[in-house]
Amino acid sequence: MKKPPDRVAALVAAALGSLSGHAAGAGVHSALEEIVVTAPMHKGEAETVHPVNVVAGEALRRKLAATLGETLKQEVGVSYASFGPGVGHPVIRGQGAPRVLVLQNSLPVADAANTSADHANATEAVLAERIEVLRGPATLLYGSGAIGGVVNVIDNRVPARVPAASDGALEYRRASNAGARVLAGRLDTGARELALHLDGFRRDSAETRIPGHAHTDGGGGDGRIANTDAEAEGATAGLSWVFDRGFLGAAVNRLESDYGIPAGAHAHEDHDEEEHDDEAPDGDDPAGDHGGHGSDGVRVDLEQTRYELRGELAEPLPGTELLRAHFAWSDYGHDEIEDGVVGTRFGSRARDGRIEAVHRLGERLHGAAGVQFGQREFEARGDEAFVPDVDSRSWGVFVVEDLHLGDVVWEFGLRFNRDQHDPVAGRTRAFGTRSASVSALWTPAVGHTLKFGLTGAGRAPTLEELFANGVHVATASYETGNAALDEERSLNLDLGWHFHDEWLDAGVELFHNRYADFIYQRNTGLLFDPDHGTTAAACTADDADACLPVRQWSAGDARFHGIEAEALYRVSEAWRFGLAGDYVRGRLDDGEDVPRVPAPRLAATLGWVDSGVDLGLRLTRVFRQAHTGEGEPPVDAHLLLAAHAQYAFLAGDNECTVFLRGENLLDRDVRNAASLLRDLAPEAGRSVELGMRIAF
């Protein structure tokens, strides 16, 4: 996969890509006006009953990180599960994969992220125009995999309009931690009825620097996490025919990524940590080549090619305002390489489609109805192929309707979904899941909004939960599936209050989720003996440390509840002060805590925006997480300080922005309660990033 950095940089520069941000100072007002694509009727963020985060423009540029989850970690109700710096899965209200569905332009990404905690999402925030996060069940719109929430990464790869003039941007950023570098670019142009979109990026970094030892017991080297250097690159080309009533276009995207798994994360990894303590102390490898590997440990070499076809047609039939169709073909694969040898290869070929019609039935009733379908061929080959080859198919139909009665907007929704898994060995399992919701948005007074939502949703078990059978090194266990699992059911209640006026934006969300047949991994108390390939209550291997606990996918009842709150007060035209916090608790039916639930957080922000200058501070207190699950030690509290400064100015006809960003400026030892590797790999230490963006 490796390519000389200068060749890739030239390719990206030629493609003229980066994400052009909005004008400096875009803040809460623009966020409230964002159109939410996850709502099929083109609603604004403040108009939908469902709790939504929209991250776009300068806010997205400031939060960009190497992984999707880390990019979103500051959003209320959203955290991430890391597996070293190369992996960061989004976690919404304590729910992660497979209950959180990651989408690319409203269709599944079709990677292998759900299969294992060390598999990265095959989507890039650096190429996004905006990211929408739907907190709470979104099964009505996207199927059973969205029972916990949705992350929708939206870009302009299939352009919907012909720009009046060519529009593009180029961005470069460099961070002190690990010498991380990012070059990205974008170009949108067109002529007459044709619109063209090009974008590309290149990212690389050396081993991540930390304030102390990687392991909580004092081991794992000093000052860095071994074998965490990474590189990634991607490019996209899209072309559309735009006409009076809509458009029809296609795009192709190529993504390649190579990242290391932290030393000690894989149980059988034979890693020499002493060798890395002698490396250059500045975060780069001795040769200064960021693409060089800092160790011979386990690495993941990922690649995906994705084709998309998309179109819209206005008023195709009487009463129908808009007809939308979107199809995607994805070819994904990654190799897990140990000491230069491919040990396991995971592959996934997927075809997904979605057709929906937005309609209006009178002045008070309007909505959307649609159909969604998908097919996936999954395969695994090699030492860690703990899941068999499986062909999966799904389809669903849905309808969502809004009824306007005075100052109350009622929303009703129904969906039926069919999911089928056909393993190469074993019996086929098929599930019919149903989801329904009723919600209301009431405006009792100017500026005040009350929200109520009740959703009953179903989730079909994943192929991993049904058919796993083998050593899963990423979780340091022997995993067994349960082919007898039934669908997971949930009943979800949301209550919210929001206030907005010239000087204050504030909101509180309360939620309570009850799960029946909640699917989780249960420790059986047995041990797997790798020397003899047997399972027993006691280990008989020559090396007892090599034995692995046997964990089985099981089902039981569970409850989640929590609160999310945020407020932004505009002290003056320039000064702004904000507070935000969130808390979630999950418990199983036996009274045990759900493992790896994010810790409670409280954040304070202070910002000043005037004349192209944007300054900001963010202080976050992450509280001690004592509810870590059976046999897991508590996770200590920590304090995070972040800051940003940027200046936007005109250079001729071009808008230029110079920016400076600091993360973990107190250089604290940060252990992520949602991370499987929190005892082996903390989050990154202090990092200062400098960059420049030119929009033309």
Tens of pLDDT, residue by residue over 94-120, are 999 899 999 999 999 999 998 888 999
5-279+291-344+352-695 adopts what CATH topology? Maltoporin; Chain A (2.40.170)
Which CA distances in Å does 410 have to 86, 319, 460? 43, 20, 28
Identify the DSSP state of 177: G
Whether the CB-CB separation of 547 and 538 falls below 8 Å is answered with no
CA distance 610 to 240: 39
Nearest to 26 by CA among 53, 61, 51: 61
471 pLDDT exceeds 90?
Answer: no
Report pLDDT digits (tens) over 574-608: 999 999 999 999 999 888 999 999 999 999 999 99
Domain parsing of the chain, residue ranges: 5-279+291-344+352-695
Map 436-498 to HEC letters: EEEEEEEEEECCEEEEEEEEEEEECCCHHHHHCEEEEHHHCEEEECCCCCCCEEEEEEEEEEE
pLDDT of residue 46: 60
Q: Measured over all CA atoms, what is the biggest interatomic distance in the chain, rounded to whole angstroms?
A: 76
Whether the CB-CB separation of 202 and 182 falls below 8 Å is answered with yes
Which token pair is 469? 């059978």
Which token pair is 496? 């919210």
Helix (H) or strand (E) holding 39: none
CA distance 570 to 554: 50
- Whole-number percent of the chain with pLDDT over 70: 89
188 pLDDT exceeds 80?
Answer: yes
- Of the two residues 541 and 677, the one the predictor is more confident about is 677
Query: Taking the CB of residue 351, how many other CB atoms lie within 10 A of it?
Result: 16
> What is the rounded average pLDDT of the residues 55-76?
94
> Counting Cβ atoms within 10 Å, is residue 375 exposed (0-12), middle (13-18) or buried (19+)?
middle
CA distance 692 to 647: 10
Identify the DSSP state of 179: G
Give the DSSP per-residue string, 83-139: SSTT-EEEEETTB-TTTEEEEETTEE--SSTTT-TTPPPS--GGG-SEEEEEES--H
CA distance 57 to 199: 17
> What is the rounded average pLDDT of the residues 273-283?
42
pTM: 0.89
- 3-class secondary structure, 344: strand
CA distance 346 to 300: 10
> What is the rounded average pLDDT of the residues 114-139?
91
Strands (DSSP E) found in 383-447: 390-405, 408-423, 429-445
CA distance 275 to 600: 38
CA distance 392 to 110: 12
> Counting Cβ atoms within 10 Å, is residue 237 exposed (0-12), middle (13-18) or buried (19+)?
middle
Nearest to 514 by CA among 451, 553, 457: 457
> What is the rounded average pLDDT of the residues 256-283?
60
pLDDT of residue 49: 72
